[in-house]
Amino acid sequence: MTKPVKKQSTSVPTVLKDVNAYNQVCTFLQFPYLCQKKLYMKKLFYLLIPATFFVSCGSSEEKSKEEGAATDSTATSAYKAGDEITEDGALTTDAFMEAIKGKDSVEVKLSAKINAVCKVKGCWMTLDLGNENEMRVSFKDYAFFVPKDADGKTAFVQGWAKVDTTSVEELRHYAEDDGQSKEEIEKITEPKAELTFVANGVLIK
């Protein structure tokens, strides 16, 4: 009696640990090109996963560094923005007060301590003029900002100082930017005549 011959299975194993075995099976099934292509795409896919992760992490790290620089750029070095500016020829606060006396405006380079900086964007700062006086500095054409952690540092500013009247709306806006409470902001009910400064260049140390 003839023994039945077992029919050889032609199914491809679901998991192939050996590349040569994979190629042999593919050759046997008469589609080596397709198998090679699938194997290549599989290997490429696993190679791209760590590469994509690396690029993604690198981008996140760079973004974090940029965000940190916006608030800590004066921690270890000087900060410059706007037109080129140096310390040379900057007036002291006393000399500045003499220069502006009796005038509506004056173009000047001034050095003074920073009292406060806008905590939202760094779009303005106030300078200590002594004797409990201060001057708010904005930046020409809103073209640049200063670090939000620059309080207490020394600023050199070049531009125009003038005596101006700041509206209640503006004063309240500045108070909000400075983080003052709602109660403090509501106490501002009258415009204020004060010295203001529009800087085209700034150096902070």
Query: 124 and 42 in one domain?
Result: no
Query: 148 and 49 in one domain?
Result: no
Judged by phi (left if over 0) then psi (alpha if -120 to 50, else beta), residue 131 lies in left
pLDDT at position 179:
80
Number of domains in the chain: 2
Name which residue leads in pLDDT, 14 or 144.
Answer: 144
pLDDT at position 28:
42
Query: 53 and 141 in one domain?
Result: no
In this predicted model, what pLDDT tens digit does every residue of 103-148 receive, in sequence order?
999 999 999 999 999 999 999 999 999 998 999 999 999 999 999 9
Q: Does residue 200 form part of some domain? A: yes
CATH number of the structural domain spanning residue 135? 2.40.50
Query: Per-residue pLDDT for 100 more than 60?
Result: yes
Q: How far apart are CA 177 and CA 3, in angstroms?
A: 94
Q: Does residue 14 form part of some domain? A: no
Query: Per-residue pLDDT for 89 more than 70?
Result: yes
The pTM (predicted TM-score) of the whole model is: 0.60
Residue 89 token pair? 């020829």
pLDDT at position 129:
96
**Per mean pLDDT, which of 69-78, 157-166, 169-178 is the most reliable?**
157-166
Query: What range defines the domain where residue 29 resides?
Result: 19-72
pLDDT at position 24:
52
pLDDT at position 77:
79
Name which residue leads in pLDDT, 148 or 76.
Answer: 148
Query: Per-residue pLDDT for 199 more than 80?
Result: yes
Q: Does residue 13 form part of some domain? A: no
In this predicted model, what pLDDT tens digit does every residue of 23-69 receive, in sequence order?
454 444 444 444 454 444 544 444 444 444 333 334 434 433 334 33
Query: 157 and 103 in one domain?
Result: yes
Query: 109 and 150 in one domain?
Result: yes
User: What is the CB neighbour count within 10 angstroms for residue 53?
Assistant: 10
pLDDT at position 59:
41
Q: Does residue 160 form part of some domain? A: yes
Query: 162 and 64 in one domain?
Result: no
Q: Does residue 48 form part of some domain? A: yes
Query: 98 and 63 in one domain?
Result: no
Q: Does residue 170 form part of some domain? A: yes
CB under 8 Å to 158, separation ≥6 — which residues? 83, 85, 108, 109, 199, 200, 201, 202
